Amino acid sequence: MGINDKPLIGISSCLLGQEVRYDGGHKHNRYITQTLGEHFEFVSWCPEIAIGLPVPRPPIRLVDDGDGIRVRGVDNPAEDYTARLTGYGKAVAQEMDRLSGYILKKDSPSCGMERVKVYRGTRVEKDGQGAFAREIMSTHPNLPFEEEGRLMDPGLRENFIERVFAFHRWQTMVAVGLSASSLVDFHTRHKFFLLAHDETTYRRLGRLVAEAGRGDLESLAAEYLSQFMAGLRHLATPRKHVNVLMHIMGFFKAHLDAGDKAELLEVIDAHRRGEVPVIVPITLINHHLRKYPSEYVKGQVYLEPHPRELKLRSHI
């Protein structure tokens, strides 16, 4: 499997500006196409067009008929599109091995990731999932998925993009050739990155990697990836960042004079208090690492897990 230099991202076609919506319009998202487009490549799908629905077309919605959730026409509830949308989802899921992530259209009865309206008689509850989205997400549980609306939240945006680049690094490693040593190296480089997300996963994967070379490597790698990607779904927080920053500081603090040490500790604590973004202590740490280099710390993905041009660590 060849891997792109840039992560390849699946996406709902309307988010790229394609006029495929039921009303003949689109939902072009310029952050996705202009900002993320500098770092990602996109491949798009519109399941409603793919199953033969026209543009424009009567709207559809999720309906709970007592036997399950169906996709039905709003104007003509007798029209049932469930089988066609799920069938198309199954087909597309077989074409997604090269993807490093997927951005879905929120609220869509076909593409919505979560909290899609479900009509239950006179009640409407936002607890549904698009029929197409459900199929591709269940087939690829390790793949990073997100909705364009949630990308407007700085924390969720950073988490998704972190997961995309982490998954892409994994794909690149496997494409070059999976081995016990490459798995150990991957884990070693991601230790602090994992710790910033979930300490339990960090410790569990450390024990798992210790088994590399002793059994079925393919099975071990599959279990590693599953736990790795699940752990990264936990959001990094100031408290977790402080823990990692203090660990990193331990590699060179003996070289710092009292003033430099006090300055770094104060900046780290300022991040803990929510006064400065994490990029501030990381920038100061990088300054000290240039003077007092550590090959182990230099190799840590945590220091730059995604392109700095995205400025994802500038929010508080």
Q: pLDDT tens digits for 165-179?
A: 999 999 999 999 999
On whether the CB atoms of residues 242 and 226 are closer than 8 A, the answer is no
Phi, psi angle pair for 118, to nearest 5°: -120, 125
Shared domain for 130 and 164, answered yes or no, is no
Domain membership of residue 298 (yes or no) is yes
Q: Which helix (H) or strand (E) holds 286?
A: helix 279-291
Asked which of 116, 131, 152 is the last residue of a domain, the reply is: 152
Of 121, 152, 183, which one is at a domain's C-terminal end?
152
Same domain, 178 and 298: yes
Encoded tokens for 79: 């029209």
Q: Is-contact 22 56, C-beta < 8 A? A: yes
Q: Are residues 44 and 82 in the same domain?
A: yes
Residues contacting residue 292 through CB under 8 Å, at least 6 positions apart: 252, 255
Same domain, 143 and 165: no
CA distance 312 to 160: 11
Task: With a cut of 80, say whether residue 4 has pLDDT above it.
Answer: no
Q: Structural domain tally of the chain?
A: 2
**Residue 16 shares a structural domain with residue 59:** yes
Give yes or no for a contact between 295 and 146, defined as CB atoms under 8 angstroms apart.
no
pLDDT exceeds 60 at position 1: no
Q: Is 22 helix (H, G, I), strand (E, B) or coil?
A: coil
| pLDDT one-digit tens code per residue, 113-156 | 999 999 999 999 999 999 999 999 999 999 999 999 999 999 99
* Chain length of the chain: 316
The answer as to whether 170 is a domain residue is yes
Q: What is the mean pLDDT of residues 266-295?
A: 97
pLDDT of amino acid 316: 83
Place 2 in a pLDDT band, splitting at 50, 70 and 90.
low
Residues 175 and 256 in one domain: yes
Both 133 and 54 in a single domain? yes
Question: Is-above-0.85 flag for pTM?
Answer: yes
Find the domain containing 192 and state its range. 155-316
pLDDT higher than threshold 70 for residue 248? yes
Q: Are residues 298 and 260 in the same domain?
A: yes
**Which of 117, 152, 187 marks a domain boundary?**
152
Q: What is the mean pLDDT of residues 277-302?
A: 97
